[in-house]
Amino acid sequence: MAPLLEVRDLKKYFPTKKGMLHAVDGVSFSLEQGKTLGVVGESGCGKSTLGRVVLHLLENTDGMIRYKGRDITRVSKKELIALRKEMQIIFQDPYASLDPRMTIAQIIAEPMQIDKEQEKSKIDERVYELMDTVGLARRLYNSYPHELDGGRRQRIGIARALALNPQFIVCDEPVSALDVSIQAQILNLMLDLQEQLGLTYIFITHDLSVVRYISDSILVMYLGQVVEHCPSKELFDFPMHPYTKALLSAVPVADVHHKKERILLKGELTSPINPKPGCRFAARCIYAKDICHQEEPKLQEVRDSHQVACHFVREINQNI
Ligand code: SF4
């Protein structure tokens, strides 16, 4: 089956006073319909920028984004508007992403009000339907966001994203501002919606426990580049890149008898502005050798569906 989304060598650079900031630098992946790709990495690694560039909310510097077989970086403005209905985003912070002057009904209805093809007389009915879908009580129709808790606010964000019947949603840290108990409710809602509506997600987060729960495959980013990409279970069972190993070592384990050694990353973070040649992780990597400072490691398949960008992946992981 052809992938719903195919991204090849995607780049997004921002000019700064000190030079060019390489926020996304040569990212490639494909994503099948109905699946979830988790994108993880420290803050500033370019994951949120990647999400926005994939939706073409930010123009790419280079590379290709193919959605349903069409390169969306080359379509006309009119075609892009039509495509945008299918491609939506759920934002990180439900507190900040909702207009406090609008009622819940107005917020959910807004995309339909703007869309010229919507039958305006049916919008109210559709708002109620969407509130039911995301588990918001109908009595909250005329409430304002400040009257609700974080979980309900994020349900509004989800209802709004669903308003135009999208097929693909970028979820940018959608649960990180929420309490843990509420996080689980929102994640379960998103999984239910995926099953009911056949949605495809890119799920961006810095929280590895969350990404494990929701993703089919995971892409680990470091300073604008992909360092590891594989199915979700494989990443947690056989992490191979030194950066992924360090990230996973910081995830708490529920079993008190299980002792896990935390890998602390030392060394300076390489600047993403005009980055030097070589591996961007080299300054913090305990395995770095001369070549790591000279040549950029390419993302290569080291096991079935498991790609890693490291010159010494086989030496570091002798069990491959
Ligand atoms: Fe470490 Fe070198 Fe591998 Fe980069 S390429 S992760 S510096 S061993």
Ligand 1 contact via 310 beta carbon (within 6 Å): yes
Does pLDDT of 93 surpass 80? no
Q: At residue 75, what is the residue type?
A: V
In a domain, 224, yes or no: yes
Rounded to the nearest 10 degrees, the angle between the axes of helix 150-162 and helix 104-114 is 20
Nearest CA to ligand 1 atom 3: 310
Give the span between the Cα atoms of 266 and 102, in whole angstroms.
47
Give the percent of the chain with pLDDT over 90.
80
> Which DSSP string do the residues of 135-162 spell out, in sequence order?
T--GGGTT--GGGS-HHHHHHHHHHHHH
Note whether residue 68 is domain-resident: yes
Element (H, E) at 316: helix 313-316
Q: Is the pLDDT of residue 259 over 80?
A: no
Establish if 279 belongs to a structural domain: no
Asked whether residue 245 is domain-assigned, the answer is: no
CATH at 53: 3.40.50.300
Task: Examine residue 98 and state whether it is found in any structural domain, yes or no.
Answer: no
Q: Output DSSP code: residue 267.
A: S
Residue 309 lies in a domain: no
- Tell me whether residue 178 is in a domain: yes
**CA Rg, the chain, in Å?**
21
Measured CA to CA, the distance from residue 95 to residue 87 in angstroms comes to: 22
Ligand 1 near 84 CB (within 6 A): no
Q: Which two tokens stand for residue 294?
A: 């000279």
What pLDDT, in 10s, does the model give residues 20-57?
999 999 999 999 999 999 999 998 899 999 999 999 99
- For 132, left (φ over 0), alpha (ψ -120 to 50), or beta? alpha
**Among 285, 291, 293, 315, which residue has the most ligand 1 atoms within 8 Å of its CB, making it the best to mutate?**
285
Count structural domains, the chain. Answer: 1
Residue 170 · residue 55 · CB < 8 Å: yes
Residue 58: give the domain boundaries.
5-86+166-239
In a domain, 22, yes or no: yes
151-181 confidence digits (pLDDT tens): 999 999 999 999 999 999 999 999 988 888 8
Give me 24's structure tokens.
Answer: 């996304």
